[in-house]
Amino acid sequence: MAASKKTAAASKPAASKTAGGDLDADFKAATQSALKLKEDPGNDMKLKLYAYFKQASEGDVAGARPGMFDFVGAAKYDAWAKLKGTEQAAAKAHYVKLVKGLG
């Protein structure tokens, strides 16, 4: 009976790796799909996509906020900063969900 518990415990990490691998593949596919959108999703959605992509690929925002005359850079920074503390896997999953909603 102890051997079966060890076998079940040993299989759990493999299952989470598979799930992570699926999420990584879904994320990669979503990034490709986002580049091929037929319609412009609008600036608000583009900022959300940017922020979730950056959080998923790099983690929390780093560096100084762009100056007040760099409107686009500041908007991107602010959108990404709002996601501070969001785990990268959660950001990937949300990014995939957003892209699927656009397709």
Per residue in 38-53, pLDDT (tens digit) is 999 999 999 999 999 9
Looking at residues 65-87, what average pLDDT do you find? 97
Question: For residue 10, what are the CA distances in angstroms to 4, 15, 94?
Answer: 10, 9, 29
Residue 16 · residue 9 · CB < 8 Å: no
What is the reported pTM? 0.78
Nearest Cα neighbor of 91 from 47, 58, 56 is 56
The CATH code belonging to domain 2-102 is 1.20.80.10
Which band of pLDDT confidence, cut at 50, 70 and 90, is reported for residue 103?
confident
Mind listing the pLDDT tens digit for each residue in 15-73? 333 355 699 999 999 999 999 999 999 999 999 999 999 999 999 999 999 998 999 99
